[in-house]
Amino acid sequence: MPYEPGSPQCRSLIAAKENLLSAMNSLNKIENIDHILVSLKTMYKELDQLHEGRKVLENET
């Protein structure tokens, strides 16, 4: 059963995370941009933490 986001905030966070993954995959084979990939991974982790927090909030209601 696919995950169905419960709120517009969750859908936005999921879309942003998917877009970052796509960007990381696109840039993965380009040389000398490790610093950019590190930044994108950091942003992904931050968005994932926000998403987890939203899921907790929504499950409480």
Whole-model pTM? Answer: 0.84
Q: How many domains does the chain have?
A: 1
* Residue 2 within a domain: no
**Range(s) of the domain holding residue 52:** 8-60
* Residue 41 within a domain: yes
* Residue 55 within a domain: yes
How many of the other CB atoms lie within 10 Å of CB of 13? 21
Whether 36 contacts 13, CB under 8 Å: no
* Per-residue pLDDT tens digits of the chain, which is 61 residues long: 345 567 899 999 999 999 999 999 999 999 999 999 999 999 999 999 999 999 888 887 6
Question: Can you give 19-42 as a three-state secondary structure string?
Answer: HHHHHHHHHCCCCCCHHHHHHHHH
Whether 9 contacts 54, CB under 8 Å: yes
* Residue 16 within a domain: yes
Burial class (CB in 10 A: 0-12, 13-18, 19+), 39: exposed
* Residue 3 within a domain: no
